[in-house]
Structure formats: C-alpha cells, structure tokens
Amino acid sequence: MIIGWFLLRRLTSPLQKILSTVEKAVQGDRFHRIEIPSCGDAGKIDHASNTMIAELQGTIPLKDYSNIITQNMDDALVVTSPEFTIQMVNRSACELLGYNEHELIGKPMEILFSEEGDAPPPWFDLIVKNLIHKTEKTYVSKDGRKIPVLFSGTPIRGNMGDVQGIVCVALDITERKRIEAELKKAVSQRDANIKDLGYLMYFSTLMNEEVREDKLIHHMATALHEHFQPELLAVLTVDKVKKAFDATLISPPMPLHKLIRADVLADPPLCQVIRTGREIVVDNSAKDVPCNCIIHKMEGGGYACLPLITGGAISGMVIIGKKDTGYWYNEEIRKLLLVYVGLTASALQRVRLIDLTRRAAITDSLTGAYNRRFFDEMLKKQIALAKRRNESLGLVIADLDHFKNINDTYGHVVGDQALQQIASIMKNSIRSSDVLARYGGEEFVIIMPSSDITNTLKKAEGIRQHIESFQFKMNSHASPIKITISIGVAAFPDHGAEYETLIEAADLALYKAKKRGRNRVEAP
C-alpha cells in the first residue's frame, strides 16, 4: 500500500505543477516555467505547456499593443458584428461623436449616420463586399451635429471566409470641407468679380459713347435693375431754375409726392443727401433710423440714397430699395453701387459739358434763345421738311417798339434785362416744336412748323398782348416799364416757297405793322 501511495504521488505531482503553472499563465504570469524531468507522458505535457506559455508571451503583448494603438489613433474606429451592432469603439470615435463608450456598445451602427430611417442604409451591403473605401459620409453626433467624414469599412473574415465582424474607420474632414467651402466661395466671388468687371467695362464704354442725358439715365436704370433687382428705383434731379426736384425716373411708377415729402420737393437742400453730398443707407427700415425725406414705405428691407455729383456740384440723387434685410450691409454690393452711380455722374457731366458747348455755339448768350446762324440753318431745313410732307410753315418776325429809347433813358443794363424778359415770355408762349431765335438787336424770330397763316397770326397776337400787359420790373427801378412789340407774320407756301422769299414776306409784314402805328400784328 505504501508502494502504491508513492507511485500515485509521483504520478500526480507533475500534473499538479503543470496545472498550477497554466493557471498562473492565464492570470498573467507568462514568465513561470514548469520544471519536470522530461520523461514519459508528464514530460511531454510539460514541454507542450512551456511551448504554449512561450507563444502566449508573443501573442498577449501583441494584443496589448493593438489596444494601445487603437485607443490612441486619431481616426475614429468602430468595430461591429456582421449585423452591424457596435462591439467596440476607440477614444477618438467617442470624442468625435460625443458619446461614452457604454452608450454605443450594443447599438446599431446606423445611429451614427445622418440618413433617415431605422433600417441600415443600402450602402452597408457594400461594406461587406469590401467596396467602401475613403468615401465621404456624414456622421451625426449625440447632440445632433452633422460631421463630414472620410469613411472606410472592411469586413473581418474567418478561415472559412465567413464575415465575423466589420472594422470601420472615419476621418473627420470638417476642416477640409470648411476650406473647400471657402475656396468655392472665393472662386465664386472671383467669377462674380470678373463678371462685374466685364459688365462695368461695357457699362463705362456705353456711357462714354452716349450723348443724350435721358439715355444715360435709362442705361443706368437698366444696369441697376439687372444687377441689384431692386423693388424701388428712383432718379431725381435738381432743377436749377425752379430749385426743385424733378423725377427723371421712378420704378415702379408713382407720383413724386408719394415718394418724397412735399416740402423737400420744393426745397431740395432739406434732403441730407443733397445738403451733404454723402450717401445714406437704411438697411432695415423697421429698426434703423429712416431718412426723413422718403415717405414711401416698403414691406421690410431698406434702401440706399446716393448723390449724383457732376462737376463738383450735387445735381440729384439715386434711391434704390431692396426688401432683403441685411442686403446693404454687404460692403461689396455698396461699392459696386457707388461705381455705377459714379460712372453715371461722370457721363452726365460730360454730356452736359458737350451740350453746353454745343448750345453756346447755337444760342444767344444774353437771352438764351437760338442765335441767327442756327435760325438760318433751321429755317432752310424746316422749309425742306414742309415741302416733303406737304405741310404749311409759319414764320414770325418781332421787333421791340422804340427800344432805343429804353437804352437811352434807362441804360443798356435795363435794356438787356428787358430783352431777357421778352425772350422768356415768347419761350413760354410757344410749343416745344417751335424755334425761337434772336434775329439781331431787339428783333426775334419764331419758326412754327405745321402752322398755317391763321394759326400763326393767332399765336403772334397772343404774344403781343402778353408783352403789352406785362409789368417789366427792372432791378434798378422801382416802377415797372411799359414795352410793346410789332410783329410781322408770313407762311409757307402762301407767301414764299424758299428761304429768301419767306424772310422777305415776313419783313414786309413787320414794316407794315410799324408803318401802321406799331404794337400790332400784320401779314403781307
């Protein structure tokens, strides 16, 4: 029996040592070795156990290293089951998505994506087929933020080729997308600037070639409508003679007194833009301090008022309104608007200088009526036109009675003032199609297209009566001066079919009026 006990102990003692060493290895002691004489079955088990422990020394550190790498990598790592149930996430994934690890483990992977619906997106099947690599997708964080990522998914396959899991890696590309958006915006702005520059060059050329003031305003209005799509556009000019506003253009059409206060219309310097020459911008008429001059109200939005400065003087203003709140805060838009208005103002100045030069060559500097040279050319053209149209043409020659006495009695300054006032009376008594000219000295002539002798006599008589009843008040004399006028009238073709014969007929009629006592109208 003693021998049996000894044999049993010798057999079981190595097995107990092997079992104890394996348990220690499982618990983490990978450096303990089994010391058993290598003989028999126990020796074989000893050798196998030591070999297993040696392999564990290689594999277990490798697993530790893998955990360290995955937990410290910058990319977001998610490992799922074949059914896309989350089984592991790294630190970067938690930080990116705003979840704790335990909040994600066991959840379906589709909660990470922005696609609507509870079912996995169709493209999940492509992950299993190893077809999703560096594809732009959108994660959704715990607080609902959408996060653009560069996503890759790789299946983990077993020895038999079956899918045992899915490894998903996502790189946060928020900053890259922001840079791309800014670049796209910059490119778009560059393209818009190039387009604006091209149109501005065309607009500048168009304005420089135009010679009519009304066409300049039309071109500017077209450009402003095309570029800014305003709900309100008005161009107001200051009449230097009346010292009041004129509506050159209002869109949509409305009476001027419904756009601007009546007292401002009659006295433009009451407007801050006209008084200071500086633009006013009201971006939000509901909140910002509005311009007191404008009484027209838009539904939301605001407007800009810009001065038209020609030759250093303020000759009007442009009002442009938009319903978009915040529109006028854009500095680029305001700069572009200033360029359009500035180019228009420069073109207006050029056209007015040209017109002033042209008018100086064809008008009488004292009275503002056309001069003798212009009259001669115009009468010949009007006779030719009347012949072509088979129409009549009236001609009036008027001469102030005893004008030499006025100059001798009151002086030439008073005589000049009298001529200016008579020219003004005549100008206001005729049609816009009629032509008034100073014929020489105290004589005036009027060409009346499409007017026969009867109508010409009637119009001439009205002028004579107006002058006879007018109280001529001179600056240097308190009491008014009485002035009368003698008028001769002729008509084409009744009294002459050519320039010379028609002039002679009208001269003859004037001579008859003077001969018969002056202050009267006569025909040949």
3-state secondary structure of 457: helix
E-strand stretches of 32-162:
76-80, 86-89, 135-140, 146-157
Compute CA distances 488 → 272, 400, 436, whole Å.
52, 12, 15
User: Quick one: pLDDT at residue 415?
Assistant: 87
Sheet holding 135-140, edge to edge: 86-89, 76-80, 163-172, 146-157, 135-140
Which of 227-236, 399-408, 439-448, 470-479 is the least confident region? Answer: 470-479
DSSP, res 327: G
| Whole-number Å distance between alpha carbons of 190 and 194 | 6
pLDDT score for 8: 41
pLDDT value, residue 291: 75
Q: Across the chain, how many H-helices and E-strands are there?
A: 15, 15
DSSP per-residue codes, 219-263:
HHHHHHHHHH--SEEEEEEEETTTTEEEEEEEES---GGGTB-HH
Whether residue 7 is predicted with pLDDT greater than 50 in this model: the reply is no
* Angular region, 152: left φ>0, alpha ψ -120 to 50, beta rest: beta
Q: Could you report the per-residue pLDDT of 38-94, keeping only the tens digit for each? A: 445 545 545 554 565 455 455 445 445 556 666 667 788 899 898 889 999 999 899
pLDDT recorded at residue 34: 47
Q: Is the pLDDT of residue 500 over 70?
A: yes
Kindly give the interhelix angle for 331-362 and 213-228, rounded to the nearest 10 degrees. 170
Comparison of pLDDT for 339 and 12, the residue scoring more: 339
Please spell the DSSP secondary structure of 135-160, one letter per residue. Answer: EEEEEE-TTS-EEEEEEEEEEEE-TT
Task: Using DSSP, state whether 69 is helix, strand or coil.
Answer: helix
Provide the pLDDT confidence category of residue 447 given band limits of 50, 70 and 90. Answer: very high
Percent of the chain with pLDDT over 70: 83
5 pLDDT above the threshold of 70: no
Which residues lie below 8 Å from residue 215, measured CB to CB, with a gap of 6+? none
Percent of the chain as helix, strand, coil, to the nearest 5: 50, 20, 30
Contact assessment for residue 269 and residue 294, using Cβ atoms and an 8 Å cutoff: no
Tokens representing residue 518 in the block: 């002056």
Per-residue model confidence (pLDDT) at position 54: 55
Under DSSP, the state recorded for 340 is H
Is the pLDDT at 118 greater than 60? The verdict is no
Mean predicted lDDT score pLDDT of the chain: 82
Spatial neighbors of 168 by CB under 8 A, at least 6 apart, are: 77, 78, 79, 80, 109, 127, 151, 152, 153, 154
419-444 exposure pattern, b = at least 16 Cβ within 10 A, e = fewer: bebbbeebeebbeeebbbbbbeebbb
Cβ atoms of 398 and 486 within 8 Å: the answer is yes
What is the pLDDT averaged over residues 133-153? 89
Q: Region 202-225: what's the mean pLDDT?
A: 86
- The percent of residues in the chain predicted with pLDDT above 90, rounded, is 30
- Residue 4 pLDDT > 50: no
Per-residue b/e over 354-363, b at no fewer than 16 CB within 10 Å? eeeeeeeeeb
For the entire predicted model, the pTM comes to: 0.53
Pairing of strands 485-492, 521-522: parallel
Instruction: Grade residue 285 by pLDDT with cuts at 50, 70 and 90.
Output: confident
448: pLDDT strictly greater than 60: yes
Going by C-alpha positions, the residue among 497, 503, 486 that lies closest to residue 442 is: 486
Q: What was the pLDDT predicted at 62?
A: 45
Tell me the CB-side half-sphere exposure of residue 159, using CA atoms within 13 A. 0
521 pLDDT higher than 50: yes
pLDDT at 56: 47
pLDDT score of 48 = 53
The pLDDT score that the predictor gives to residue 240 is 76
Mean pLDDT highest for which of 194-203, 351-360, 370-379? Answer: 370-379
User: What pLDDT was estimated at residue 506?
Assistant: 95
DSSP 8-state symbol, 458: H
Q: Which of 32-36, 259-263, 302-306, 490-494 has the largest mean confidence?
A: 490-494
